[in-house]
Amino acid sequence: MAAESPADVASEATNLLSRQLWAPPTLDHMLTHLLIWEYRNLPRACKALARGRQIQAIPR
């Protein structure tokens, strides 16, 4: 097996990285982002839902 030159290794690494950066987000990534974002903003989301749907918010 021939050793690859540093330029070949760098080129392949750049190709892999650019494919990862420009790939559309996976469902796992989107769901994880959604869960983290929604739980961080849960009180605000509940208030917005209560206003939008005309339901009473749970009193604190």
Domain residues of the chain, as ranges? 25-60
Q: What angle do CA 10, 11, 17 make, to 5 degrees?
A: 90
Q: Is 48 helix (H, G, I), strand (E, B) or coil?
A: helix
pTM of the model as a whole: 0.28
Q: What percent of the chain has pLDDT over 70?
A: 48
40 or 6, higher pLDDT = 6
Q: Is 27 helix (H, G, I), strand (E, B) or coil?
A: helix
Residue 57 scores a pLDDT above 60 = no
Q: Tens digits of per-residue pLDDT, 3-25?
A: 678 888 888 877 776 666 655 66
